[in-house]
Amino acid sequence: MARPHDSHDAGPEDAAPTAGGAASATGDGVGNTAYGRKPFSRSRSHFADRITADGRFGWPVEAGRYRLIASRACPWASRVVISRRLLGLEDALSLGIVDPIQDDRSWRFTLDPGGRDPVLGIRFLSEAYDRRETGYPGGVSVPAVVDVPSGQLVTNDFRQITLDLATEWRALHRPGAPDLYPEALRDEIDEVMEGVYRDVNNGVYRAGFATGQEEYDTAYAAVFRRLDLLSERLAERRYLVGDTITEADIRLFTTLVRFDPVYHGHFKCNRFKLAEDPVLWAYAKDLYQTPGFGDTVDFHHIKQHYYRVHTGVNPTGIVPDGPELDGWLTPHHREEMGGRPFGDGTPPGPVPAAEVVPPSGRP
């Protein structure tokens, strides 16, 4: 059964009771045309099962059993792709990448030969949702983890997926994998992530899909108030929490890397460009140039998705040529602040050949 998709924006962290991710209709049949024309609310993840070491939720960690479906355009899915790479889980958890241009039937596997995912054999991600719950009326979101033997969705809970990869999948981590969610720092990490999520990750969508001036003004103010606070925090420390990369940095990075290409203009978050804040720009470049971050980013997919799918915001579908991307590779000098990117661990190895971002998506 095909049905209108929810965008990548569905997530568990917003308590809004109404259906609907930030970027789509959910079951009302209007699909992509609803972008920017309906009040913003972020839906909770409907499928919040967890894959754990002891299998207490019915889904045990098992190498090769599950497939991660992600969009390189999506900040929420990109978190999981980065975590998977930093932890060295490429061989344990396979990766399927969807077309950045989804239609009202959901995310599509049109990038693969024959238009089908080579492992799951499906044309639309909605097919995995239907195998889990026939007639499910909600949206189809990424990231999604699918059980390969049954072909059914396990979870689309993007917040918990990354935390579980860092903690429950430890037996399958590569030698030298970093601790992305160190127990001693979890309270501080959670506090930082909550503010980043509310005002930045989610805030840019509240601004971009606002349907009234007051709604937009409120969201815009919150975005830049939080960015100012983050800039102050990062002026004296290389990473958000502690002296190593943590889950908090991953969650902020996926919004920052999209800021100038899409959020500044497309979402009207234009008080300044990321490249105009010396601290945030250097911090973002530091992470981009760290193995596991920039080598997962596809700027072509990002721009194609936002400008061509959000037809309520950009009805012409014109994709801007800029901004220039060369700045992402310029020196950042953040290493002078100290810090140990991977703690006592090591950087991840080369990107698997099948997962290398094409030249069109890189600086």
pTM for this one? 0.91
- Top pLDDT among 34 and 244 is at 244
**Catalytic-labelled residue, pool 35, 205, 239, 263:** 205
**Catalytic-labelled residue, pool 66, 74, 181, 239:** 74
Is residue 205 part of the annotated active site? The answer reads: yes
Separation of alpha carbons 361 and 363, rounded Å: 7
Task: Give the structural domain span for 341.
Answer: 185-361
Separation of alpha carbons 127 and 115, rounded Å: 14
State the pLDDT confidence band at 34, using cuts at 50, 70 and 90: low
- Looking at residues 333-340, what average pLDDT do you find? 97
Q: Which CATH number fits the domain that encloses residue 128?
A: 3.40.30.10
Q: What is the mean pLDDT of the chain?
A: 90
Contact 61, 52 (CB under 8 A): yes
Do residues 141 and 216 share a domain? Answer: no
Separation of alpha carbons 288 and 303, rounded Å: 17
The yes-or-no verdict on residue 324 having pLDDT over 90 is yes
Identify the pLDDT of residue 32.
60
Report CA-CA distances (Å) from 273 to 25, 45, 98, 107: 30, 31, 29, 30
Identify the pLDDT of residue 61.
98
Do residues 118 and 59 share a domain? Answer: yes
Q: How many CB atoms lie within 10 A of CB 129?
A: 26
Residue 2 lies in a domain: no
Do residues 79 and 200 share a domain? Answer: no
Separation of alpha carbons 198 and 298, rounded Å: 25
SS3 state of residue 344: coil
Identify the pLDDT of residue 138.
81
- Top pLDDT among 106 and 24 is at 106
- Total number of residues shown for the chain: 363
The yes-or-no verdict on residue 16 having pLDDT over 60 is no
- Residue in this structure with the two tokens 């990231």, named with its chain if needed: 143
Count of domains observed in the chain: 2
Is residue 263 part of the annotated active site? The answer reads: no
Do residues 198 and 152 share a domain? Answer: no
Q: 59 a known binding residue? A: no
Pairing status of strand 66-70 against strand 94-97: parallel
Do residues 165 and 213 share a domain? Answer: no
State the pLDDT confidence band at 333, using cuts at 50, 70 and 90: very high
Token pair recorded at residue 269: 């978050």
Separation of alpha carbons 255 and 273, rounded Å: 13
